[in-house]
């Protein structure tokens, strides 16, 4: 019963517009991943961004101003990484490695991202394997837009 309630809470936190999880990846793990995102990633990566926000931020950057965040939003990161690592297994392996040993060569973000924000610091070095796994799975399942859909909705 307890498990069922926790599952329902996780589902309501994750909300609409996410991918269905496989049986190996539980809703509980995704919920844990969300908390890890909140504590370790959200200070740089916004969770999502509206097309209007992207438009305004693009204008600010063009005018030489700093954007209001220090990294691309997670909705964009998720779509972008899926373009290169589409399966859950490859995606999770990439994210776990990237956050531990990030580099310009490995990264798959748009060139603009490195120009504006620089390369991500190795946040994952202070995280447990379990935490890295959970946050990578949250990032995979939280969003379901393809890169092409994302760019069509949020042109920049």
Instruction: Name the residues that contact ligand HEC, by CB under 6 A.
Output: 40-41, 43-45, 70-72, 77, 81, 95, 98-99, 102, 107-109, 113-114, 117-121, 123, 135, 139
**Would you list the DSSP string of 50-87?**
-HHHHHHHHHHHHTTPPPSSSS--HHHHHHHHHHHS-S
Residue number with CB closer to ligand HEC (8 or 112): 112
Euclidean distance between CA atoms 124 and 1, whole angstroms: 34
Q: Are 24 and 146 in contact (CB under 8 A)?
A: no
Q: How far apart are the first and last CA of the chain?
A: 46
Instruction: Show the tokens assigned to 78.
Output: 């998720």
CB of 111 to ligand HEC, least distance (A): 10
Residue number with CB closer to ligand HEC (3 or 101): 101
Residue number with CB closer to ligand HEC (6 or 119): 119
Euclidean distance between CA atoms 98 and 153, whole angstroms: 27
Residue number with CB closer to ligand HEC (4 or 121): 121
CB of 74 to ligand HEC, least distance (A): 8
Which residues lie below 8 Å from residue 1, measured CB to CB, with a gap of 6+?
A: none
CB of 19 to ligand HEC, least distance (A): 16
CB of 37 to ligand HEC, least distance (A): 6
Residue number with CB closer to ligand HEC (1 or 105): 105
CB of 88 to ligand HEC, least distance (A): 14
DSSP 23: S
């Amino acid at each position: 019963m307890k498990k069922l309630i926790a599952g329902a809470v996780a589902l309501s936190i994750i909300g609409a517009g996410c991918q269905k999880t496989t049986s190996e990846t539980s809703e509980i793990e995704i919920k844990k991943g969300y908390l890890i995102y909140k504590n370790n990633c959200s200070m740089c990566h916004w969770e999502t961004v509206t097309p209007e926000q992207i438009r305004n931020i693009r204008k600010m950057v063009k005018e030489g101003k700093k954007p209001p965040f220090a990294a691309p939003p997670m909705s964009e990161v998720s779509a972008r990484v899926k373009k290169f690592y589409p399966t859950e297994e490859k995606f999770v392996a990439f994210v776990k490695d990237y956050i531990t040993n990030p580099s310009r060569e490995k990264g798959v973000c748009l060139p603009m991202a490195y120009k504006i924000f620089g390369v991500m610091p190795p946040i994952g070095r202070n995280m447990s394997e379990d935490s890295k796994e959970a946050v990578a799975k949250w990032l995979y399942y939280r969003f379901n837009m393809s890169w092409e859909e994302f760019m069509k909705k949020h042109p920049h």
